[in-house]
Amino acid sequence: MVNESRLTKEFISLASLDSPSFHERKVADTITATVQAMGLEVYEDQGGLVYGGDTGNLYFTLHGEPNVPSLLLMAHMDTVVPCVGKHIIVEGDIIRSDGTTILGADDVAGLVEILETLRVIQENDIPHGNVEVVLTFGEEQSLCGAKVLEFDRIKSKLALVLDNHGVGKAAISGPSQYQLFATFHGKAAHAGVEPEKGLSAIVVAAKAISQMKLGRLDFETTANAGVIKGGEATNIVCDCCTVSFEARSRNAEKLEAQVAHMKAVMEATAEQAGTTVTIKQEFLYPAFKIPEEDSFIKLFQTCCKKVGLEPVLEATGGGSDTNIISGKGIKALDLSCGMTDVHTLSESIRISDMVQGTALLIAMIQEIVETGGRNL
């Protein structure tokens, strides 16, 4: 039922469009025209204006039988950088970029699998309940689009978020995340004439970072120093250095303890150096978890086997729109859609994996109807 040629062409078309976070206009307009041609109404909110972007979140629904649970399908329209001027190469079953940019399978794969699912349902008169679709902007920037969704428009209590690597996988738990923004204060001086009169903020920051527990801390907790900026010239002792950190964990107590540790190390190091550090803390999103025995997971496993996939349940260390909607009471699986080596110049995807990913979506929609959505 899945039209492989059409799916491939649509992937290449959408992946070829520039779509950095907050500048998803070309992708949004293309999808809007496509969905309207299917006879569906599209609503775009004004969420992008909150972040100075040019695009909002898109909402549309394929209406179906009202006596079965509605299902929400989600994907995001933005891609990580470098993503401008992509050149797409098809080599047999594999699609990749020319290596100078990312491919954008994260999350163009999710977009095209959702669109193809809707087409197949329409073309084959497949019985279905209401299938709601929400496509977000700014997901790669701390899930910005999902944070400003108009949730009163979303009726579904079950969701599949197409934003995971591989095929036949479902992330059933994911972490909470904090970001920390630290400004270390020093004292400027001429680095060649009288460096002893200065205090290097870079040195203080480096000492603090060296004393922190970073990287993989245990099976559910990670932390990282990701961005450091400071200094104007090599002949000036740096008087200000900023560092951006993150901490993630699927365990709330561990996350709070790690954040407290990082702040304590920074403050103690600054005090020992005779200076200060200013720390700002931001909670980005909540953790999510669905028990393995949940009926929605059982449905996923059943449908994987129906389309020839071996189901895999996993705990992820990444964040996705799944975190946000789960926090709003929607039971959501972060579903794989074929992407590999995401966020790198080696990113690629197999056409056959997208075909299977689409087949899985169709099977799950059918299964909900056939079972009447019992216990979901």
Cis peptide leading into residue 82 (ω within 30°) = yes
User: 3-class DSSP state for residue 247?
Assistant: strand
Q: Of 205, 158, 173, which is closest to residue 319 (Cα–Cα)?
A: 173
Residue 222 tokens read as: 């990670």
Q: Contact at 8 Å (CB) between 75 and 114?
A: yes
Q: Could you say which of 78, 106, 116, 246 is catalytic? A: 78
Rounded to whole angstroms, how far apart are CA atoms 200 and 231? 9
Q: Contact at 8 Å (CB) between 122 and 51?
A: no
Residue 69 tokens read as: 């649970």
Give phi and psi for 94, each to the nearest 5: -105, 135
DSSP assignment, residue 236?
A: B
* 139 is an active site residue: yes
* 78 is an active site residue: yes
Residue 53 tokens read as: 């972007």
Q: Of 317, 311, 186, which is closest to residue 248 (Cα–Cα)?
A: 317
Q: Could you say which of 10, 106, 139, 163 is catalytic? A: 139
Amino acid found at 252: A
Which residues are catalytic, by number?
Answer: 78, 139
